[in-house]
Amino acid sequence: MNDQRTAVAAEKGDDAAWPALTTEPRDWTSNLDDRRLSIWERQRIARPYRASVLPPIASRTPRISSTVQVLVDDATSDIARFDSEVATMPVPMPAVLLRTESASSSQIEHLTTNARNLAMASLGVGAKQNAELVAANVRAMREALAVGDDITPDTILAVHHALLADSDPDVAGRWRSEQVWVGASAISPHDADFVPPHHERVQSAIHDMAAFAARDDIPALTHAALVHAQFETIHPFVDGNGRTGRVLLHQVLRRRGLTRHTTVPVSAGLLRDPDRYFRALTSYRDGDPSVITEQVAHAAVAATLNGRHLADDVMALRAAWQDQIRARSDSAAWRLADALFAQPVVNADYVAATLAISDRGARNAIEVLEEADVLRPSTSARRPKVWQASQVLTAMDAFAARAGRRA
């Protein structure tokens, strides 16, 4: 049916119609010992499977329903206001939001951790495996900001390398050289829920997507949603596609000037209903760009609402510290206090490096905040000694709890 719909649109010269995927037969060679398979399984995988074929989108212009366009316009205005609000805050709120976005994006892939474990992993002490993977996602987001906002094959590979360099170095920053699929049996792609394009088609599809991402004639939020959806459809890596693809969404928002100061935690909005998000990707592959655009717009609005709640919690906490911290406003202790919102678990080495002060100065700043009950020693951390800002961790965990609630 999808093949017929795309063919009819092409015959009519309907460039405004968003193209649905087609498929092609591909032979399958199993690496499994046949003796491990039943007769039925051997017969099933002996026949060709169907791999997706992505029509080019570089010159396509999406047709979005008027209802969704109103939502996109409202969400766009809300994102711009939120971005401006964050820019005026006296604490490093962009770093806080980048961390929350990375954690939420990982949670969509069932990689969960709490704020304390993530902060420990970011510090490089006593980390658990999931926390280390989420910390890698934070680094990947920072890498995306460092490599620039233009989406190219090289920048995509750089982001993916930052994401998986520690956990899976053999595939980090490398296009896949094998067929992957989603759902059904782990034995073969036959009858899978979704089979991305054959690996021979990956790089040409990426170049086409990058050309689409370079355009400036599509509303920014719609543009970001569709670049993300196309990337997820290409599925160019063996692992890490979802997390990498959500980084690209933010790169588009930054390149188009919608976010200039911060990272809007869109993934936290998508966490309200991941199943609906995945269904929206399926609709996109069927030729309907409105559904994923709608989901991203709803997620952005939810993200700014949750982000404002977190910002209020942060500012209320900082205001309470005004009465607790006995130090000048320009002291190392206060600079450390503000830095705790970006990294709420610290040791002396981290403080010295972050504030560019001596080890003695770092320990003095920590001592001031410990006396003020802003920092407390972490009882479960290994030597050297580690301190944590428990109230900041509580605020971040509260943000995550709100993000996980269905609308």
- Residue 1 pLDDT exceeds 60: no
Phi, psi angle pair for 190, to nearest 5°: -60, 130
Mean pLDDT of 321-331: 93
pLDDT of residue 380: 60
DSSP type of residue 374:
S
> What does the pLDDT look like over 89-122, one tens digit per residue?
888 888 888 888 888 888 887 888 889 989 988 8
Burial of 386 (0-12, 13-18, 19+ CB in 10 A): buried
Q: Which fold has domain 325-394?
A: Arc Repressor Mutant, subunit A (1.10.10)
Which of 124-138, 303-317, 371-385 shows the highest mean pLDDT?
Answer: 303-317
Contact 131, 113 (CB under 8 A): yes
pLDDT in tens, 25-72: 999 887 766 667 777 777 777 789 999 999 999 999 999 999 999 999
pLDDT at 249: 93
Residues 204-258: pLDDT tens digits? 999 999 999 999 999 999 999 999 999 999 999 999 999 899 889 999 999 999 9
How far, in Å, CA of 12 to CA of 20, rounded?
15
Residue 224 token pair: 């970001």
Question: CB within 8 A of 198, min separation 6: which ones?
Answer: 24, 26, 51, 179
| CB neighbour class for 165 (10 Å; exposed up to 12, middle 13-18, buried from 19) | middle
pTM: 0.87
Distance (Å, rounded) from C-alpha 182 to C-alpha 7?
Answer: 26
Query: Contact, 93 vs 86, CB < 8 A?
Result: yes
Cα Rg of the chain (Å, integer): 23
Locate 58 and state its tokens: 């570089």
Element (H, E) at 376: strand 376-377
| Among the listed residues 294, 111, 108, 281, the one whose alpha carbon sits nearest the alpha carbon of residue 193 | 281
Residue 342 tokens read as 């970006």
Query: How many degrees, rounded to 5, is the angle at CA 34 between CA 33 and CA 35?
Result: 90
The arrangement of secondary structure in 66-308, i.e. its CATH architecture, is Orthogonal Bundle (1.10)
In angstroms, the CA 358 to CA 349 distance is 9
The H-assigned helical ranges of 51-152 are 66-87, 93-108, 115-123, 129-147
How many C-beta atoms surround the C-beta of residue 287 within 10 A? 16
Quick one: pLDDT at residue 112? 84
Instruction: Quote the DSSP letter at residue 178.
Output: S
Cβ-count burial of 388 within 10 angstroms (0-12 exposed, 13-18 middle, 19+ buried)? buried
Long-range contacts of 280-287 (CB under 8 A, 24+ apart): 280/229, 281/229, 281/232, 281/233, 282/194, 284/226, 284/229, 284/233, 285/20, 285/21, 285/52, 285/194, 285/233, 286/2, 286/20, 286/21, 287/2, 287/5, 287/6, 287/17, 287/18, 287/19, 287/20, 287/21
Q: Tell me the CB-side half-sphere exposure of residue 126, using CA atoms within 13 A.
A: 17
The count of other CB atoms within 10 Å of the CB of residue 42 is 14
Domain extents in the chain: 66-308, 325-394
What gap in Å lies between CA 214 and CA 237, rounded to an integer?
22
**Please, is 384 exposed, middle or buried when counting C-beta atoms within 10 Å of its C-beta (0-12, 13-18, 19+)?**
exposed
Contacts by 315-321 with C-beta closer than 8 Å and gap 24+? 315/89, 315/91, 317/391, 317/392, 317/395, 318/90, 318/91, 321/372, 321/374
Q: What percent of the chain has pLDDT over 70?
A: 92
